């Protein structure tokens, strides 16, 4: 009988897909109370950051270690992003209800706010998951700086954020067909794509001596 090579590219790829499915399930389940969505997203970015950096990782251990370690910071960051995002959404919704000059200004400002929230929030979560920060708002501020300093990756990050809502709007039938797959791997797959786009910038920070999060719990 021919011996199976578990180190082959096929088996490695299947293992990576399995890890992404597991991470996505953990993320979705831990987001269900809503208030824990920030800590859950932080745990997800901790895992995909290691994947993008080609480091050793264990999905369950790394996810819940980050979830517990930075629960307060992740929740604070999530609340700021949620409030700003909701304000942008309501402003855009209000502005599109009536076509006037003042509403056009409101629509543009609200759209810009949503773009900034998406990009800065994604960078902020990834930074907080990878590096040590005393306060969540500092990670969000750095997220803003990274957005401006890395415009092309930030456009790609924005694409990962909006492609699913745009698909639901433009092609509802395709959205329905892909919904089961998205439930399995959509969130973690998009997060891994973002982490891959952020990886060159993170590598520069690490080369410059930026302190990473502790990998072990303090005694």
**pLDDT tens for residues 103-112?**
888 999 999 9
C-beta atoms surrounding 101 within 10 Å: 7
Cβ neighbourhood burial of 98 (10 Å; 0-12, 13-18, 19+): exposed
Please give the pLDDT value at position 75.
96
- Give the pLDDT score at 214: 53
Instruction: Report yes or no: 110 and 95 within 8 Å, Cβ to Cβ.
Output: yes
Helix pair angle (37-52, 59-69), 10° resolution: 130
79, 38 contact by CB (below 8 A): yes
Tokens representing residue 79 in the block: 């609340």
Local structure of 212: helix, strand or coil: strand
User: Under DSSP, is residue 49 helix (H, G, I), strand (E, B) or coil?
Assistant: helix
**Low-confidence residues in the chain, pLDDT < 70:** 1-7, 211, 213-219
Answer for the pair 190, 47: CB distance below 8 angstroms, yes or no: no
- pLDDT tens sequence across 35-82: 999 999 999 999 999 999 999 999 999 999 999 999 999 999 999 999
Report the pLDDT value the prediction gives residue 204, as an integer from 0 to 100. Answer: 94
What is the per-residue pLDDT for 7?
66
């Amino acid at each position: 009988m021919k011996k199976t090579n578990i180190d082959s590219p096929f088996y490695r790829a299947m293992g990576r897909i399995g890890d992404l499915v597991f991470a996505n399930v953990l993320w979705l389940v831990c987001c269900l109370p809503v208030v824990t969505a920030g800590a859950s997203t932080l745990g997800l970015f901790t895992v995909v950051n290691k994947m993008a950096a080609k480091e050793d990782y264990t999905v369950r251990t790394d996810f819940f270690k980050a979830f517990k370690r930075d629960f307060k910071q992740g929740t604070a960051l999530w609340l700021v992003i949620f409030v700003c995002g909701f304000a942008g959404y309501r402003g855009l919704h209000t502005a599109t209800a009536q076509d006037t000059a003042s509403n056009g200004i409101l629509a543009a400002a609200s759209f810009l706010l949503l773009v900034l929230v998406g990009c800065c929030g994604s960078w902020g979560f990834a930074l907080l998951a990878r590096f040590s920060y005393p306060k969540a708002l500092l990670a969000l501020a750095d997220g803003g700086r990274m957005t401006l300093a890395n415009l092309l990756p930030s456009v790609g990050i924005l694409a990962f954020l909006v492609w699913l809502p745009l698909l639901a709007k433009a092609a509802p039938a395709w959205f329905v067909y892909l919904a089961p797959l998205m439930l399995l791997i959509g969130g973690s797959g998009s997060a891994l794509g973002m982490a891959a786009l952020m990886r060159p910038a993170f590598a520069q920070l690490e080369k410059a001596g930026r302190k990473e999060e502790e990998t072990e719990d303090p005694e």
